[in-house]
C-alpha cells in the first residue's frame, strides 16, 4: 500500500530502502559519504514514495534559513528590479535565495515585511527604506539578523549601507543643465521625505548657487512614477512661462514629463526645455528623445549589499561598513545645447 505523499517522512524512506535514517540524511546532504549502491537504493525509495524534504524544518534546526529578505520602495521601478537582480546573482553563488518585498513607499508595509522576515529567521535583510527606520534595523541586528541598507547611506554607526552619492548626482545633473546655457531650472520629484530625493535636491541647489542669475523651482510630486511626471509635464506645458531645463528626480518621472511635453505640441525637447533624469534605466536611451541621466551602478549596488550581508552573517562581530559609489553623467539628446 502506498503512503500518502503529504505524510511521507524520512523514516518511511529509510524503511523502504532498508537503511537507517542517518543514511538517508547523508544521501540528502552529502551523497559522497555513502556507498553508491546504497545511494541508488535510497534515491529509488525517494522517487517511489514521492518524498519531499521539509527544508523549512531543516533550516529551523540550523537556526537560520538560506533566504535573504529584500525590501524595495517600488518594484515597478526598473532601478529596483536591477538592484534585486544584482543581489540575486550574488546570492546564487553561495546557495542563498532572495525573497522580494515591495513596501510601495508605505511605512506599515515596510514594517510588516521586517516582522515577517524576522519571524522566518532569514539569513539577513537588505532594505531600501522609506521612513527613518535605522533604530529598528539596529534592533534587528542586535537580535541576530544581519541588515544592510541599499541605495541609502547609513547615518548610524551600527548598520552597514551600500549607496550612491545622491548629493553629488544632483549637483552633476544641474551643473550639466547650466553648462548648456540654461538658467531657469526646475526640480521635479518627491515625496521629499525620501532621503535620496531630498539629497538630489540638495545637490541641485548647490549647483545653482555656484552660477549667477540661475534659479531653481521645486515641484514636488506624490510619487516617482511616469504618471506623476506626465501630470507635472502637462501643467508646465500649459504655463505662459516655462523652465528652460528640468531635472527629474528619477527616469520614470522624466519619461512621463517627456511624453507630456512632446504631446503638448507646444514645447520641444531639448529646444524649448532640456530634460535630465536619474538612474539611467534601460528605457532612458530608448525614448522618443533619448534621455540624459545620472547613472547609478544598479546591479553592483545589489551585489555588493549581498556580499556584505553574507560576510556579516558569517562573522557577526564585523564592524558595519559604508560603501558609497559615485554617480556618472550620461549625456543624450534631451539636453543638447
Chain-wide mean pLDDT for the chain?
90
Q: Per-residue pLDDT for 139 more than 60?
A: yes
Rounded to whole angstroms, the Cα distance separating 258 from 242 reads 14
Q: Please state whether 187 falls in left (phi above 0), alpha (psi between -120 and 50) or beta.
A: beta
pLDDT score at 57 = 52
Rounded to whole angstroms, the Cα distance separating 250 from 199 reads 13
Residue 79 exposed, middle or buried by CB count within 10 Å (0-12, 13-18, 19+): buried
pLDDT score at 280 = 97
Q: Per-residue pLDDT for 130 more than 90?
A: no
pLDDT score at 1 = 46
Residue 134 main-chain phi, psi, to 5 deg: -60, -35
User: Of 79-83, 202-206, 311-315, where does mean pLDDT reach its minimum?
Assistant: 311-315
Inter-axis angle of helices 166-179 and 195-209, nearest 10: 40
pLDDT score at 169 = 98
pLDDT score at 105 = 86
pTM exceeds 0.85, yes or no? no
Mean pLDDT across the stretch 239-248?
Answer: 96
Mean pLDDT across the stretch 5-13?
Answer: 76
Inter-axis angle of helices 251-264 and 226-237, nearest 10: 40
Cell representation of residue 218: 521645486
pLDDT score at 64 = 67
Rounded to whole angstroms, the Cα distance separating 149 from 115 reads 16
H helices of the chain, in order, are: 10-17, 21-29, 36-49, 55-62, 78-92, 107-119, 134-142, 166-179, 195-209, 226-237, 251-264, 298-314
Rounded to whole angstroms, the Cα distance separating 13 from 20 reads 9
Please tell me the number of Cα atoms within 13 Å of 276 on its side-chain side.
33
Mean pLDDT across the stretch 189-193?
Answer: 94
Q: Per-residue pLDDT for 119 more than 90?
A: no
Q: What is the largest CA-CA distance in the chain?
A: 88
DSSP string, 122-139: -SEEEE--SS--HHHHHH
Rounded to whole angstroms, the Cα distance separating 100 from 119 reads 16
Q: Per-residue pLDDT for 295 more than 80?
A: yes
Other Cβ atoms within 10 Å of 83 Cβ, number: 27
Distances (CA, A) of 237 to 148, 243, 272, 282, 284: 42, 10, 11, 26, 21
Question: Cell 556618472 belongs to which residue?
Answer: 328
Q: Per-residue pLDDT for 33 more than 90?
A: no
Amino acid at each position: 500500500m502506498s503512503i500518502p505523499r503529504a505524510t511521507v517522512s524520512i523514516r518511511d524512506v529509510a524503511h523502504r530502502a532498508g537503511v537507517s535514517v542517518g543514511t538517508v540524511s547523508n544521501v540528502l546532504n552529502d551523497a559522497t559519504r555513502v556507498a553508491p549502491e546504497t545511494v541508488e537504493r535510497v534515491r529509488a525509495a525517494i522517487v517511489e514514495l514521492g518524498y519531499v524534504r521539509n527544508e523549512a524544518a531543516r533550516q529551523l534546526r540550523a537556526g537560520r534559513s538560506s533566504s535573504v529578505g529584500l525590501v524595495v520602495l517600488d518594484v515597478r521601478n526598473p532601478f529596483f528590479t536591477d538592484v534585486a537582480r544584482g543581489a540575486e546573482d550574488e546570492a546564487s553563488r553561495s546557495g542563498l535565495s532572495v525573497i522580494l518585498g515591495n513596501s510601495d513607499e508605505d511605512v506599515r508595509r515596510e514594517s510588516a515585511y521586517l516582522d515577517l522576515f524576522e519571524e522566518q529567521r532569514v539569513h539577513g535583510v537588505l532594505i531600501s527604506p522609506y521612513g527613518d527606520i535605522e533604530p529598528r534595523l539596529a534592533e534587528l541586528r542586535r537580535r541576530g539578523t544581519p541588515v544592510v541598507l541599499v541605495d541609502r547611506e547609513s547615518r548610524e554607526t551600527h548598520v552597514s549601507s551600500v549607496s550612491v552619492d545622491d548629493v553629488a548626482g544632483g549637483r552633476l545633473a544641474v551643473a550639466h543643465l547650466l553648462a548648456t546655457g540654461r538658467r531657469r531650472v526646475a526640480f521635479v520629484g518627491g515625496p521629499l521625505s525620501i532621503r535620496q530625493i531630498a539629497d538630489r535636491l540638495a545637490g541641485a541647489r548647490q549647483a545653482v548657487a555656484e552660477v549667477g542669475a540661475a534659479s531653481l523651482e521645486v515641484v514636488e510630486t506624490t510619487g516617482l512614477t511616469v504618471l506623476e511626471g506626465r501630470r507635472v509635464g502637462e501643467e508646465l506645458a500649459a504655463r505662459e512661462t516655462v523652465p528652460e531645463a528640468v531635472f527629474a528626480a528619477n527616469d520614470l518621472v522624466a519619461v512621463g514629463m517627456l511624453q507630456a511635453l512632446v504631446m503638448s505640441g507646444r514645447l520641444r525637447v531639448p529646444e524649448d526645455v532640456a530634460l535630465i533624469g536619474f538612474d539611467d534605466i534601460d528605457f532612458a536611451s530608448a525614448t522618443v528623445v533619448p534621455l540624459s541621466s545620472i547613472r547609478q551602478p544598479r546591479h553592483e549596488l545589489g551585489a555588493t549589499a549581498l556580499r556584505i550581508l553574507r560576510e556579516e552573517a558569517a562573522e557577526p562581530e564585523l564592524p558595519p561598513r559604508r560603501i558609497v559609489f559615485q554617480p556618472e553623467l550620461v549625456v543624450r539628446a534631451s539636453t543638447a545645447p
